[in-house]
Amino acid sequence: MEDHLKEALEIVKAQASVRTMTEEEITSMVRKLSLGIQAISEGGETAFDEGQACDPQKSVREKSIICCVCGKSFKILTKKHLGSHDLTPAEYREKFGYKKNFPLVCKSLQRERRKKMKEMKLWTKRGKKK
């Protein structure tokens, strides 16, 4: 096994010991670190795509949504977090190919919100109180 891959595995192993990581996060992080370490050791620039830490089509999951910029897992991608990457929610959606009104929340939270909205029936007119 090459040195840069061993070093990447050690870094990811240390990271996985302090926080829960999905298999995709681990694989992605190993790949990125390995390519980065190799590029640095060869004296060049990093060869991997800085703008994408995961597959945007697989980033929305049942209990989490993964930020495609940094690879961290959340229940909701907030404006504050996206701002840390100098992106607005609209820019994030455009950059990773989501529709304009795509919700940046996990699937379970989407269902919960939809259910509450249906219970509230905000689209119906309320009767006048006497």
Q: Please, where are the H alpha helices in the chain?
A: 3-18, 23-41, 79-84, 89-95, 107-120
Give pTM, 2 decimals. Answer: 0.55
Q: Which structural domain, as residue segments, surrounds residue 106?
A: 51-114
Domains: count for the chain: 2
Distance CA 54, CA 125 (A): 44
CB atoms within 10 A of CB 12: 21
Contact 4, 41 (CB under 8 A): yes
Beta-ladder partners of 74? 65
pLDDT confidence tier of residue 115, bands split at 50, 70 and 90: very high
Average pLDDT over the chain, rounded to an integer: 82
Return the percentage of the chain with pLDDT > 90, whole number. 32
- pLDDT, tens digit, 9 for 90 and up, residues 65-85: 988 888 888 999 999 999 998
Same domain, 67 and 100: yes
- pLDDT of 108 over the 70 cut: yes
Same domain, 18 and 65: no
The total number of residues shown for the chain amounts to 130
Predicted local distance difference test score (pLDDT) of residue 129: 65
